[in-house]
Amino acid sequence: MSNTKTILFTLSLLLCKATAWAQWDVSLAQHWSIEGYYNPSVAGATEGIRISGAYQHRWSGIEGSPKTAIVTADTPFRFIGKQHGMGMVVGTEIMGQKTNSLLAAQYAYRQKVGSGYLSAGIQAGIYQLAFDAGNLTLANDSVANNTVMIRTNFTDRSVFDFNAGLSWKGRHFFADISVMHLTSPWFYAQSDSTLVAVANPDSIRRHIPRSYNFMASYNISLFYPLDIQPMIWVQGTNATTQIRATMRAIFRQKYSGGASWVKNDGYVFFAGALIRGVEIGYAYSLHTQGIGKQGNGSHEIYIGYRIPIDAFDKKSTPGKSIRLL
């Protein structure tokens, strides 16, 4: 594929991203393993310091298709007798000539409610967005009717971004809800260089749409040592909604596997293991609808590790934390 075609393909995906959440908030196949990316309230919700990373190549086989890497880290801590959590998120997505980068900090407060814990969290960070069209030029006959010429060599742009969320975790049941991009930040300031033809130039001077996530799971112990974990994830904006239903089996708390159905997209198959304290996982997405159908599926790998730290008073909470005061 030529440089011109690659850029035009990237632009077509950008236009889709201006009206849909899917590419701004990557849908990780193993979302339960790196849930802090979607909801800051889970920061500090596990014992010890938790470090998680995921890499996804979406729509492999299609030139310029998205490649995303995300790393999260969080830890619980105790301050003035209360339970808190803090964390950070680092992420990068490359799609053709476009790059998104995210650096964010998280804070969460935990309170025992009934038989579980209710957490509220906020996230503040910086999104850096860049598009480099190089020295692209288009011949006059490449401009279709009813199109106009716009500049494509966008200057890098950094915008502030904020998320917030709530979560509740009991012995068997977990549920959370979050709002991403609370302020719907605007993006893509244009520079004074190359021009390219599109039908609606205003469509790429848009904002990152506010998106919503609802996740729930229930752990069912069938018989020792086998558990099953049905999960539901609803993700969307005011314009569109995606639903993902997952069934995950866990054997001896060390090995796992399962499958997901994704509305208007296809199916996901995944497997994971806990080896010497390191969690690893792989997922393959089979796309039966949409642009992904033209490719060779999507691939995702996950790795995670937890570092034990001093515990809270075990009489008050099963979690562990760093004690500040």
For 129-183, what is each residue's pLDDT tens digit? 887 655 444 444 444 444 444 445 555 678 999 999 999 999 999 999 999 999 9
Produce one character per residue of 152-190: b if its CB has 16 or more CB atoms within 10 Å, e if not: bbbeebebebbbbbbbbbeeeebbbbbebbeeebebbeb
Whether the predicted pLDDT of 101 surpasses 70: yes
Candidate from 11-25, 52-66, 71-85, 120-134 with smallest mean pLDDT: 11-25
Task: Tally the residues of the chain.
Answer: 325
- Percent of the chain at pLDDT > 70 equals 74
pLDDT for the residue numbered 287: 96
Triad 215, 279, 31: Cα angle to 5°: 20
- Say what the pLDDT of residue 136 is: 47
What distance in Å separates the CA atoms of residue 262 and residue 241, rounded to the nearest whole number? Answer: 11
| pTM over cut 0.85 | no
Is it the case that residue 15 has pLDDT exceeding 50?
no
Q: Which residues pair with 80 in a beta bridge?
A: none
Judged by average pLDDT, the poorest of 16-30, 57-71, 97-111, 295-309 is 16-30
What would the mean pLDDT of 58-65 be, rounded to a whole number?
91
The predicted structure's pLDDT at residue 208 = 84
Higher per-residue confidence, 22 vs 108: 108
Mean pLDDT of 235-242: 89
**Is residue 204's pLDDT more than 70?**
no
How much is the pLDDT for 143?
45
Provide the CA 253 distance to its chain's centre, in angstroms: 25
For residue 16, is pLDDT > 60? Answer: no
241/261 Cα distance (integer angstroms): 14
Strands 211-218 and 195-198: unpaired
**Helices marked H in the chain — which ranges?**
3-19
Q: What is the structure's pLDDT at 173?
A: 96
In percent, the amount of the chain with pLDDT more than 90 equals 60
Query: 5 phi and psi, to 5 degrees?
Result: -65, -40
What per-residue confidence (pLDDT) applies to 39? 98
Spatial separation of the C-alpha atoms in residues 166 and 306, rounded to whole Å:
23
Best CATH choice for the domain 3-210+276-323 from the list 1.20.140, 2.40.160, 1.10.10, 2.60.40? 2.40.160
Whole-number pLDDT of residue 164: 98
Q: What angle do CA 112, 87, 163 make, to 5 degrees?
A: 85
